[in-house]
Structure 1
Amino acid sequence: MEVGQKVCVYRLRDRVSPLIAKRLGQIGVVQDYKMTDGSGVGFLVKFTDNSATWFFEDEVRPATGDN
């Protein structure tokens, strides 16, 4: 995935706060990359309400017309 790409949050790997949990199923835009523990890459995703949080690579997927 690339910066500027629309993504959908489709799963949450860990237990998260209710604020983050409400992002499940929402579409946002990748703003930046984040190195996770080990060699993984995460994505900083910004939503329409101008809030942003990061997700693991396997928690988001490219947004389609079906999301």
Structure 2
Amino acid sequence: MEVGQSVRVYRLRDRVSPVIAKKLGEVGVIQDYKMTDGSGVGFLVKFADNSAIWFFEDEVQPAPGN
């Protein structure tokens, strides 16, 4: 996945705050990459409400139409 690509949050690995849990199923745009602990890569995703949250790469998938 690349910066600028639309993605949908389709799962959450861990328990999260209600604010983040509400993003499940929402579509946002990848703004940047984030190195996670170990060798994984995460994504900073910006949503229509201008919030930006990072997710592990296995928590997002390309949005329909991408």
The residue number in structure 2 matching 1:42 is 42
Identity of aligned residues (%): 83
Q: What is the count of residue pairs matched by the alignment? A: 65
Q: How far apart, in 1, do the equivalents of 2:30 and 2:17 lie?
A: 21
TM-score normalized with structure 2 length: 0.97
The residue number in structure 1 matching 2:29 is 29
Give the CA deviation at 1:15: 0.4
Structure 1 vs Structure 2 CA RMSD:
0.6
Query: Once the two structures are superposed, what CA deviation does each residue of 1:10-52 show, in whole Å capped at 9, x if it has no partner?
Result: 0000000000000000000000000000000000000001000
Unaligned segments of structure 1, at least 5 residues = none
Give the ranges of 4+ consecutive aligned residues of structure 1 lying more than 4 Å apart after TM superposition. none
The residue number in structure 2 matching 1:64 is 64
TM-score normalized with structure 1 length: 0.95
